[in-house]
Amino acid sequence: MNRRHFLILAATAVSAAAVAGTVKMPDDPYAYIGALLSEFVGDFTMDAEQQRQFVEAFSNHYGNDKVMGFVGLHRIRRSMSLGTAYTHTKVDLYERRLISDFMTSTDFFRQYQAGAAPHVSFTGFKQPCSNPFARQTQTT
C-alpha cells in the first residue's frame, strides 16, 4: 500500500468515525502529541513554545498529512480498537518515531532524576550528533 492509499484510508476512517459521532479529530494535534509523550515517557514539564517547536519539527520532517493521519488513527484505535494490520503497523511505527525523536531532540536524559519530573528543553531536530549520551568536547 502506497502513501496515497494510506492517506485515503486514514481520511476515510477518520471521516467515518466523525460522522458516527464516536471520535472526532483533535482540535489541537500539538496537545494530543504532548499528551502521548507524557503517557509514553512519564511525567515531565516543557514550555508550550518548546513543545510547539518539537511538534512542528516532527510534522515537517515526516509530513503534516502523515502526522495528522497518525493522530487520527491513534485516536480511533484507542477509542474503538478498530484498524487493520497495516494501520496498526503504521501507528506503532509513528509511536516509536515520536518517542525516539523526542529523546534525541530534547535534553530529557540530562534533566532526568529519579522521582522528579524533569523540565525538558527542545535542543533541535535531527541534529548531526543528537545522541544524548555522546561526550561533549570543547573546541578551542
pLDDT digits 0-9 by tens, 52-73: 999 999 999 998 888 888 888 8
What confidence tier does 101 reach under pLDDT thresholds 50, 70, 90?
A: very high
Q: What is the mean predicted confidence (pLDDT) over 95-103?
A: 92
CA distances from 10 to 6, 25, 61, 110 (A): 6, 11, 19, 37
d(CA 2, CA 66): 12
Domain boundaries, the chain: 28-39+59-115
DSSP assignment of 98-137: HHHHHHHHB-HHHH-BTTB--EE-B--SS-TT--TTSPP-
pLDDT of 24 strictly over 50? no
d(CA 118, CA 42): 10
CA atoms within 13 A on the CB side of 110: 15
Predicted local distance difference test score (pLDDT) of residue 19: 43
Q: What is the mean predicted confidence (pLDDT) over 24-30?
A: 61
Neighbouring C-beta atoms of residue 14, cutoff 10 Å: 20
Predicted local distance difference test score (pLDDT) of residue 21: 44
Predicted local distance difference test score (pLDDT) of residue 85: 82
Q: What is the mean predicted confidence (pLDDT) over 75-100?
A: 85
Sequence-ordered list of residues with C-beta below 8 angstroms from that of 133, at least 6 positions apart, any chain: 109
What confidence tier does 49 reach under pLDDT thresholds 50, 70, 90?
A: very high
Q: What is the mean predicted confidence (pLDDT) over 93-120?
A: 87
d(CA 124, CA 140): 23
pLDDT of 110 strictly over 60? yes
Residue 46: DSSP 8-state? E
Of the two residues 22 and 119, the one the predictor is more confident about is 119
pTM over 0.85: no
Strands 119-120 and 45-46: parallel
